[in-house]
Copies of this chain bind each other. A is one copy, B any other.
Amino acid sequence: MHDGGVEQLAEQLREAGHRLTAPRRAVLTVLAEATEHLPADRIHELAAAHTPEVNLASVYRTLQLLGELGLAHEVRLGDGRGYWELAHGEDAYHLHCLRCRSVTHHAGDTVRQVRAHLGDAHGFRAESVDLVVHGVCAACQHEA
């Protein structure tokens, strides 16, 4: 997750017919450097380091755009807000540790199985699967 990633994403923005602006580059950089899922206000804070004066509204607008382009993805943890991450090959689920508040995503068959099951059993055509598991991660269990 060095700057190369950002350049590539920036390119995708441009290719989709959007302008590459300072706020957008700042948000992309923050997301690319992030090791965890970030809410908009946190992204705003971090972006301010790169590019002072980025406005929170622009962060929201950028995130929405990135979401529409499929470059970023929003996760809802149950509290009101949205947490963002760069898109990774979909069909992942999230483990939300209630103790250390960490959120990790995991790919795997799990979600695919759920999807398959639904089509068979309920004739439901799944568009997207939101699977968030709240609990206590392995690390936190040890230091209990």
Q: Give A residues with C-beta under 8 Å from B.
A: 76, 78, 80, 93, 95, 97-98, 106, 108, 110, 113-115, 117-118, 121-138, 141
* B127–A130 touching, CB < 8 Å: no
- Contacts A76-B78, A110-B114 given: A135-B130 contact, CB under 8 Å? no
Residue of B nearest to A74 (CB): B78
* B114–A127 touching, CB < 8 Å: no
Chain B proximity of A119: nearest CB distance (Å) = 9
Residue of B nearest to A96 (CB): B130
Question: Could you write out 7 A-B pairs with CB less than 8 Å apart?
Answer: A76-B76, A95-B118, A114-B131, A118-B135, A127-B136, A128-B133, A129-B131
